[in-house]
Amino acid sequence: MVHQQMAAFGHEQVTHFVDEETGLEAIVAIHDTTLGPSLGGTRLLPYETHDAALTDVLRLSRAMTYKAAASDLDLGGGKAVIVADPTEKTEDFVRAYGRMIDRLGGHYITSVDVNTSVTDMDHIADETDHVVGTSAGLGDPSPITSRGVFEGLRACVDATYGTRDVSDLTVTIQGVGKVGSGLAELLVDHGADVIVSDMHEEAMNDVAREYGLGTVDPADVYRTDCDVFAPCAVGGVVNDETIPQLTCDIVAGGANNILERREHAEALLERDILYAPDYVINAGGLITVAAEHTGDSREDALADAIAIGDRMEELIDRAESEETTVLEAADRYARERIESATDEPVPQSAD
């Protein structure tokens, strides 16, 4: 099964690590290193099955290849998952993981992701040089990610309504973590009417009070009347069940793998809903840790994240000229960058 999935997704290497002393189990997936070493975060989740963990890491690492290429970064795509309950995490556990990363010889560079922290990256840095996102680095990338999502969203607004001004728009944000709440603040500062939704009611209400926002129950979020729907939490939320409920003109958010399947981009287009490919619009985090890796500044990373708006505009124009989805236009741009550095064709992204 592993070999079949690797072949389908075009992965170079998948490594399964086990450390009996600490109970660590991890999977590192390196998708493509044509443009440079693979870089992607490590997420820690109590996956119900090994197959679920493998599927997640394969999809995420492939997406990182496209994200790096579409962002004009000289990096490849990689990702790692640790199969564990977050409460089981210890310093010894994390250090053991760092030693495992070191064995990959720099082909994979790790960073922060779900349930891993800057402190964890500091412990990993004691065991390997192949890590970014430490306390000695450029700081929390979330504000830069939020800014990139905001600029990409504005480009979609311009393509739809003929202006980047969001002051007359209603935006529904699903998920009020660091990226979602940061996006809400930016939208409010620019005059938008913002509605938020989150499975964690207390967090939702806290953000709503802080910025004076409306709220909606998670069960009703898809059918909420708005101009822009911005998923900023879990993936797979745009699917066969939710698409018929959407009343928006634009789907643009900071979550990874927003579409359950690739064909959902076509389903949105058929309903005249503009979809901003998530790996383009949410690339600010990768841009930040890539800047740390190359020795650039936080200001450099912010400037590159702001330019996401221009990249989105370019891809929207390309999609219109090619009569295809913006997702396919973004995929083609990424593949062209990779293929320009090799004689080998790049497998199409597939779900």
Active site residues: 79
Q: Rounded to an integer, what distance in angstroms lies between the CA atom of residue 207 and that of residue 184?
A: 9
Which structure tokens are listed for 44?
């820690």
Measured in whole angstroms, the distance separating CA 15 from the mean position of its chain's CA atoms is 22
Q: Rounded to an integer, what distance in angstroms lies between the CA atom of residue 95 and that of residue 62?
A: 26
Contact 178, 274 (CB under 8 A): no
Angle between helices 308-322 and 298-306 in degrees, nearest 10: 30
φ, ψ of residue 24 in degrees (nearest 5)? -70, 135
N- to C-terminal Cα separation, the chain: 15
Give the contacts of 211 (CB within 8 A, at least 6 positions apart): 184, 185, 188, 194
Contact 176, 203 (CB under 8 A): yes
Give the contacts of 3 (CB within 8 A, at least 6 positions apart): none
